[in-house]
Homo-oligomer: A and B are copies of this chain.
Amino acid sequence: MKVLLYPDKKQLLEKLARPYSGNKEVTEQVNRIRVSVSERGDDAVREFSLRFDGASFPDMEVTPMAFQEAEDIIPGELKMAIRRAANNIEKFHETQLQSGSRTIVEEGVTCWQRTVPVESVGLYVPGGSAPLISTVLMLAIPARIAGCPKRIMCTPPDKNGNIDPAILYAAQISGVTQVFKVGGAQAIAAMTYGTAIIPKVDKLFGPGNQYVTEAKQQALSQGVAIDMPAGPSEVLMIADKTANPAFVAADLLAQAEHGTDSQSILLTDDQTLLDSVQEELKQQLQDLPRKEVAGLALRNSVMVLVNDMQEAMSISNEYAPEHLILAVNNPEQMSLEVRQAGSVFLGNYTPESVGDYASGTNHTLPTNGFARNYSGLNMDAFVKKITFQQLTPSGIKSLGPTVETLAEAEQLQGHKNAVTLRLKALQKQIEEVQS
């Protein structure tokens, strides 16, 4: 890990700039896959699955029996952990539900907003050496709470066409309605257009490699919405002398083990802490199964000695980290200054891992500086907010002339006329009653 002592803020931020990615070859390959799937449906999906995942299997959809077998097979302790995490995620996301109230904007003019679930959501869960159980929970539970009627999931199978039982168990208790054994850009393309087997969805969610990420971007141009743009994971820690060096090092390493492109940043005003963290990092890295990955990731990582905590927060707000850990004396106070971050962890006993799995917050967060303009996944992402309005006759009589004046100024006579006709009709009614 690079160490920078009292750097100039602007130069530091340039050093921390995320590399802008974009790979023409990936774009073109994903484009070919997308067009193939749109034209040839499941045949194309099967071909790409065989080619990229080595997976050949008769059934694309996971059967009810497979779910039952999964439940039987996984250890009780893991089951309990999944259920407890699921409960917490459910509890916190439920608090985000809103019921819009009616507003009488003026006498006779009532407006309201109603929250309606997205009809059909597609959840993507990447494969890999270990089952991403938490990804299933983080995507599927909010979709169920929101009431999205169709909640399908795609995830790549192993070479025998199987999906990890823990994934299936998590999908089942999170209320996923169908699971398909398909991964990669072909899974995203299938959910973009729909095939005979895999339904078309309105919105796509979930992480993935550069092919999946590119496929989601291309889906956007085909009228399917996506959760957020993706990039490598990152953590920024602000620590003062009250922080525990072993804890700080462990949190930096937890981030680093995600991938060689992960970024861990430490900002501190305490030279002693900085030195101790360096020492701890060396020791802890040795014991890590993924020490090669983490070691490489640490090369992208920086420890910075800053003048004071205010400077640290200012740098953090400019960097806009996905994860922000405040290992400081008064984290609550400091948290009020956070203006750009995905999710924030307060104090010495709140490692990022708790939010990754079980505290209840969502771990699908804006990376790559997108915390400037995107929120982490929350209930808003699974709903639409529709506005409604109703005017009474006296409402339009009162507000109508304002609309006429504005429509006239915008030279939209038809807009004006829609009001004028109604005002005239009401006037006529009054005259009829009076005569």
Interface of A toward B, CB cutoff 8 Å: 22, 77-78, 80-82, 84-85, 88, 91-92, 95-96, 98, 100-101, 103, 105-106, 109, 111, 113-114, 116, 118-119, 129-134, 166, 202-203, 217, 220-221, 223-225, 229, 244, 246-247, 250-251, 253-258, 284, 287-290, 294, 331-332, 335, 338-362, 368-376, 378, 380, 383-393, 395-396, 399-403, 405-407, 409-419, 421-422, 425
A382 nearest CB across to chain B (Å) = 10
A414 touching B384, Cβ below 8 Å: no
Residue of B whose beta carbon sits closest to that of A423: B349
**Residue pair A111, B289 in contact (C-beta under 8 Å):** no
**Lowest 8 CB-CB distances: which A-B pairs, in order?**
A130-B411, A225-B373, A81-B405, A351-B418, A346-B390, A257-B414, A105-B360, A361-B387
Bound Cα distance from A130 to B413, whole angstroms:
12
Find out whether the CB atom of A247 lies under 8 angstroms from the CB atom of B422. Answer: yes
Q: A220 vs B370: C-alpha distance in the bound complex, in angstroms?
A: 11
Q: In the docked arrangement, what's the CA distance between A118 and B80, Å?
A: 39
Residue of B nearest to A77 (CB): B405
Shortest CB distance A381–B (Å):
10
Q: Is the CB of A134 within 8 A of B96?
A: no
Report chain B residues within 8 Å CB of A77.
405
B389–A419 CB distance below 8 A: no
Give the Cβ gap from A356 to chain B, nearest Cβ, in Å: 6
Minimum CB–CB distance from A74 to chain B (whole Å) comes to 9
Chain copies in the assembled complex? 2
Instruction: Tell me which residues across on chain B come within 8 A of A412, comparing CB atoms.
Output: 130, 254, 257-258, 290
- Using known A-B contacts A358-B403, A374-B384, determine if residue A353 contacts B415 with beta carbons closer than 8 Å: yes
Distance (Å) between the CB of A195 and the closest chain B CB? Answer: 19
Distance in angstroms between the alpha carbons of A247 and B341 in the assembled complex? 50
Instruction: Tell me if A95 and B103 are in contact (CB < 8 A).
Output: yes
24 of the cross-chain contacts (CB-CB < 8 Å) are A80-B405, A81-B405, A81-B409, A84-B402, A92-B103, A95-B103, A96-B100, A109-B360, A116-B339, A118-B373, A129-B411, A224-B373, A254-B417, A257-B414, A331-B390, A349-B393, A353-B416, A354-B400, A359-B391, A361-B387, A372-B384, A373-B384, A378-B385, A378-B387
Cβ of A431 to closest chain B Cβ, rounded Å: 17
Report whether A369 and B425 are in contact in the complex, using a CB–CB cutoff of 8 Å: no
Question: What's the Cα separation between A383 and B374 when bound, in Å?
Answer: 8
Q: How far is the CA of A111 from the CA of B368 in the complex (A)?
A: 24
CB-CB < 8 A to A335: which residues of B? 388
| Contact A131-B418, Cβ < 8 Å, known A109-B359, A111-B92, A425-B244 | no
Q: Is there contact, CB below 8 Å, between A357 and B403? A: yes
